Amino acid sequence: NLFEGTTVHFTNKLAAPQGLVVSGESGTVTSPPLDAAGEGWHYTFERGGAYAIHLVQRPEATMQIVVVKKAAP
C-alpha cells in the first residue's frame, strides 16, 4: 500500500520501448513513451483507491497498487 500523495518513479529496464497505463476510479493516465533503457516517468497517487497498472506493449503484464489515507497525527 501507498499513502495518498506518494510519487512513484517507473523506469524502463529493457532495451525496448515501453509505456505504462495507470487506471483508477478517477480515470486513466498513459505515460509518455519510454523508448530506451533507463528512461523514467513519475506518477503521483493523489487519491485513495485501487489502481491497475499495465504495460502498453504487454497488457497482460499487470500490477495493482492500493493507495490509502495517512492516519491523522
pLDDT band at 54 (very low <50, low <70, confident <90, very high): very high
pLDDT band at 37 (very low <50, low <70, confident <90, very high): very high
73 pLDDT higher than 80 = no
**Per-residue pLDDT at 9:** 96
39 vs 12: CA distance, rounded Å: 6
Q: DSSP E strands: which ranges in the chain?
A: 2-3, 6-11, 20-24, 27-30, 40-45, 49-55, 62-68
Q: List Cα–Cα distances, 23 to 14, 36, 41, in angstroms.
A: 23, 24, 16
pLDDT single digits (tens) 9-34:
999 998 889 999 999 988 999 999 99
